[in-house]
A and B are shown apart, each in its own frame.
Chain A
Amino acid sequence: MNMSKDTSTPQNTPANKATSPSTYTPEDFLPLTPEERESSETLRPSKTYWADAWSRLRNDRAAMLGLCVILAVILLAVFGPVFSRYEYDGMDFSVSNDPPSLTHWFGCDMFGRDLFVRVMYGARISLAVGFLASIISLIIGVVYGGISGFIGGKLDNVMMSVVDVIYSVPAMIYVILLMVVIGPGLSSIFITLGISYWAPMARMVRAEVMRLKSEEFVTAARVLGASSARILFRHIIPNAMGAVIVTLTFSVPGAIFTEAFLSFVGLGVSAPMASWGVLSSDAVPAMAIYPWQLFFPAGAISITILAFNFLGDGLRDALDPKLRR
């Protein structure tokens, strides 16, 4: 901007010499028509929450990689054993402890069982544990946290002190105690993990409900005379879904990890069934001689947990409107 002190000219002239008046045409000074005004609008298209989240997730390479790996692992777990020549419990002592080869891709264990099919079969168990345990803890957590947050007051205080007590003892110790009490087995793992890991979910749902309860659109709905049930199901739950999905994505690998951990301390599923955790823990004693027996199942656990974490991170970024720019 020119700061000239030229005030002697009563008439207004452009002060900047670079654009001299000669370059203007009279048409330039015609008023804008509504069409011309419209054409100058530069509005960005608006998207719905989920469409926007999906497009953000699609652009997140790590998250998409995670999603693809998870889908691949699920497909292998479901269909892999069906198409394999071997059975997960089929023993063949002529090939016991064979290294990886064309006939046995991941090698064999001490009973001559094909490790590839055992790892795929283990994926069924590990994934089942991951998903089922998460869903059980999700249901308990959502109901518990939802009630606590929605009703609030004294009930909320009491319910949250219970959660605080649960929090102050490591869940792993509960799990071990419970497993000792109900005895090992697949269904006890589901139950144990489900009833031990709901506290974080409950806390998260409660916080989310408390936050949403004070949001203006909920107040507006209340003023309009909506019932409590309607507010809960139409306004609060759909809006809390994002946070719930993210927590769920992180709790699946948590459960897979815990199951593997339990197998390591001798509380896993029993033979001949084998989860990834059982496979790896069985391989540890002989790891110096047959390292592949450990590496394949351990690699499967690590890659799957990594994939879930990538997806979870991506989902959190995609679903959290606060981070939007």
Chain B
Amino acid sequence: MGGINISRYILRRILSGLITLFVVITITFFMMRAIPGGPFTDAKAIPEFVAQKMSERYGLNDPVYVQYMRYLSGILRLDLGPSYRYEGMTVNEIIADSFPVSCAVGGLALLFSLMAGIPAGVISALKRGKWQDRLAMVLATVGVTVPSFVVASLLVYVLAMRLGWVNVGFWDGISTAWLPALTLALYPAAFISRLVRSGMLEVLGQDYIRTAYAKGLSERRVIYLHALKNAVIPVITYLGPLTAGILTGSFVIEQVYGVPGLGTFFVTSISNRDYTTIMGVTIFYSAILVAFNTAADICLSFADPRIKLR
């Protein structure tokens, strides 16, 4: 084994990520085309001749394959096209405006969920059956089962409206990001702690842990090096779904907390039937996700040497 194999593996992962992205773009494009009527037919406010004009301007009268090729070539130039609803704005501009906000909240949530989930899972496995374990697992079960919008509304109601400890409904950078991020992190943190706990319990029963003890190694070294290094492998695999969860979770959380992020924008464009924005944001989300999945796969190949075989 060596460098050549690893770089070949990484190259293969990136290639398959790009193929996935291409499939997603194609499906999304044709699905949006499949909506009965044009994008302007349901908006009553627009007179027939204006709709006709707009269709022409956006090239909607061309054959579908021409539109598809045009869209694809746009994406190759990283151009997601104009918004149909926001006059004069491109989807790129919308994303550039609102994504940094979502990114701050989401990134913080990612950090919170790993920082809370992994230690909780380890402690719970080591104290199996004791009160620490029970407490952690009750919290984890609640975190996994209570929908995030319920938690978010509850927190807003108690912390903001009853106690007045925090202000919500406006955006002021990181200082207003932590509460939405914490809410967003609840489900993944709970899931990660369960993942780490069961992984840890399984690993601690393995023969190689007995070997490590038989070598005379200290308990600390056995648990935090030999066991943990194996037990976090599932967490790396979970990194893709974790990101997906935080992305989709943001649709609701941003609304409840009044965060002007991409999630809010996406939901608005759904109710506005702003098809190019829906399409563009979907593709943008998929690209992020494919990137994270690929990154997770590559991390995995470093964490688990057996992966390179495949």
Q: Name A residues whose Cβ lies closer than 8 Å to a Cβ of B.
A: 164-165, 168-170, 172-173, 176-178, 180-181, 253, 257, 260-261, 264-267, 280-281, 284, 287-288, 291, 294, 298, 301-302, 305-306, 309-310
Contacts and interface: CB of A to CB of B under 8 A. Distances in A.
Contacts of B289: 168-170
A261 B149 contact: yes
Given A165-B23, A169-B289, A173-B248, A267 B156 contact: no
10 closest residue pairs by CB, A with B: A170-B244, A172-B248, A298-B150, A306-B145, A302-B146, A305-B145, A265-B267, A288-B161, A266-B271, A264-B252
- Interface range on chain B (Cβ under 8 Å from partner): 35 or more
Nearest to B293: A168
Chain A interface SS verdict (over half): helix
B100 to A, nearest CB: 21
Dominant SS among interface residues on chain B: helix
Given A287-B157, A302-B150, A168 B20 contact: yes
Contacts of B50: none
Contacts of B286: 168-169, 173
Interface in B243-257: 244-245, 247-248, 251-252, 255-256
Interface string B8-45: 00000000010010011000100110110000000000
Given A177-B282, A253-B145, A294 B35 contact: no
B270 A265 contact: yes
A257 B247 contact: no
Interface of B: 17, 20, 23-24, 28, 31-32, 34-35, 141-142, 144-147, 149-150, 153-154, 156-157, 161, 240-241, 244-245, 247-248, 251-252, 255-256, 267, 270-271, 273, 275, 278, 282, 285-286, 289-290, 293
Given A169-B289, A309-B144, 11 more contacts: A165-B24, A169-B244, A169-B285, A180-B270, A180-B275, A180-B278, A260-B147, A261-B149, A264-B149, A265-B251, A281-B149
Given A257-B147, A305-B146, A173 B282 contact: yes
A310 B273 CA distance: 39
B225 to A, nearest CB: 27
Given A169-B289, A266-B270, A178 B31 contact: yes
